[in-house]
Amino acid sequence: MARDSSPPDCRQYEVRFDSLFQPGRALAFPCDREGHLDFERCSARARSNYLFARSMVGREYKWPRVCPCAEPDGQAPDPDGSE
């Protein structure tokens, strides 16, 4: 069985670049609580999209924000990590 070696926070948070012009449209990437991405684990396409979104802040996308990922049941995890 393969083990996931990424920090637990990487599955609980995402950095989101919301569109300036199309409400509801965004690019989102898994990150830790501070907004750091693990580029070693990202696909080439994800890295390219992330760098594109960063370069388009203020032109196509809003300033990125770190937010909790939605759980499969649609609920966001508690940001302080408590149950």
Q: Where are the domains of the chain?
A: 8-68
Phi, psi torsion values for 62, nearest 5 degrees: -75, 170
Q: Whole-model pTM? A: 0.71
Give the mean pLDDT of the chain. 81
Please report the pLDDT score of residue 70 as a whole number: 73
Express each pLDDT in 30-61 by its tens digit. 999 999 999 899 999 999 999 999 999 999 99
Spatial separation of the C-alpha atoms in residues 53 and 11, rounded to whole Å: 20
pLDDT for 18 beyond 80: yes
CB–CB of 27/61 below 8 Å?
yes
* CA 76 – CA 54 distance, rounded (Å): 25
